[in-house]
Amino acid sequence: MKVIINNEMRDFQSIWMDEKNIINAIDQRKLPFSFEIFKAKTLDDTCFAIKEMVVRGAPLIGVTAAYGILQEALKFKGMDSNLFKEKISNAKTKLSKTRPTAVDLFNVLERVTKKLDLVKSISENVAIIRNITRDIVQETIEECEKIGIFGNDLIQNGKSSIMTICNAGALATVDYGTALAPIRKAHEEGKKIIVYVNETRPRIQGGRLTAWELFNEGIEHYIIVDSAAGHLIKNRKIDLVITGADRIALNGDTANKIGTYTLSVLCKENNIPFYIAAPKSTFDRKTKTGKEITIEERDGKEVQTALGINDKKDIEAKRIIIHNLNSKNLNPAFDVTPAENITGIITPQGILKQPLADSIKQFLLKNSEYA
């Protein structure tokens, strides 16, 4: 992704592992007010990064977990294969408890560890984990680029207005993004587009992160309060809505950032195309419908406070209280959009169309990596 630092344009991935086996990630808690790299040197650091949203976005959570397993494998000292397997198993368990809704976390952990073999040497097993992690990182990037190509076909050559929610860009993956991938591709091709970014309370991932990415890319956009979406959609200001996903059930029900369901209802009521964009790792082979998806309930303090600065000269962001201190706060982080509200799902292999249950079944038959 393009990042402007001190008026200089630079290219970054959202996460990488350096030569010292330290996991480096753009600290998304600090954006857009400061650009900092979080360094995870231990498994506890990596779990903290996922749980406390240093990293976030379903595909990136999965990649981070893969790096966490690799980091533990590389640190292992000794020749006892059973102890090695136990160490990896404990790391997998610890990482799996960081966040409950994004299925990429669990799919990736299973993929990274299922080929371990006690008959093989520890060095061979470390190589297996390294190779699978490398494949996952590269596939995530390539899949997002393909999502961009297929999704771009939905964007008209004339001026198009596209709405999105939360952040499903490069920051939520490794590079390029899911919901933002078609937008990036359209921009690269010179299509005239305007993006309407729902600010996405309570953590403002739209206003802080998506807007930051679009600004760095030079893509025209407006940040809107979440409750303005209905007004714009009803008055035909929006041509298309594209969102990301944290988990897609076998019938097409999709969990995503809280407020996504509301957008889907507004689009259905006003006959506006509503698309989900997701890589293979976001499909859940074990969950039949959205009713089975666990919705993460986060700390109410996120609702009660907001991160901000006083003006452009202020680089020290502070979290301030914005609500009545005597009131309780409820903070579901996700909601589930029913399959019937979704026009289609943009994948790296094309757009899955209605009926989604049938399309997803055929899609999963072709992709066994996370089986």
Residue among 194, 167, 174 at smallest CA distance from 183: 194
The whole-angstrom separation of Cα 213 and Cα 203 is 16
Core vs surface per residue 143-171: b (16+ CB within 10 A) or e: bbbbbbebbbebbeeeebbbbbbbbbbbb
Whether 125 contacts 73, CB under 8 Å: yes
Residue 278 structure tokens = 């997701």
Helix/strand/coil for 289: coil
DSSP 160: E
Alpha helix positions (H), 171-259: 180-188, 205, 211-217, 229-234
77 exposure class (CB count in 10 Å sphere: 0-12, 13-18, 19+)? exposed
Beta bridge partners of 254: 248, 337
Catalytic residue among 175, 239, 246, 335: 246
Displacement of CA 214 from its chain's centroid (Å):
16
What is the DSSP code (8-state) at residue 209? I
Rounded to whole angstroms, the Cα distance separating 117 from 207 reads: 46
Positive/negative CA dihedral, 203, 205, 207, 213? positive
246 assigned to active site? yes
- Angstrom distance (rounded) from CA 289 to CA 292: 6
User: Environment class of residue 110 by beta-carbon count within 10 Å: exposed (0-12), middle (13-18) or buried (19+)?
Assistant: middle
Q: Known catalytic residues?
A: 246
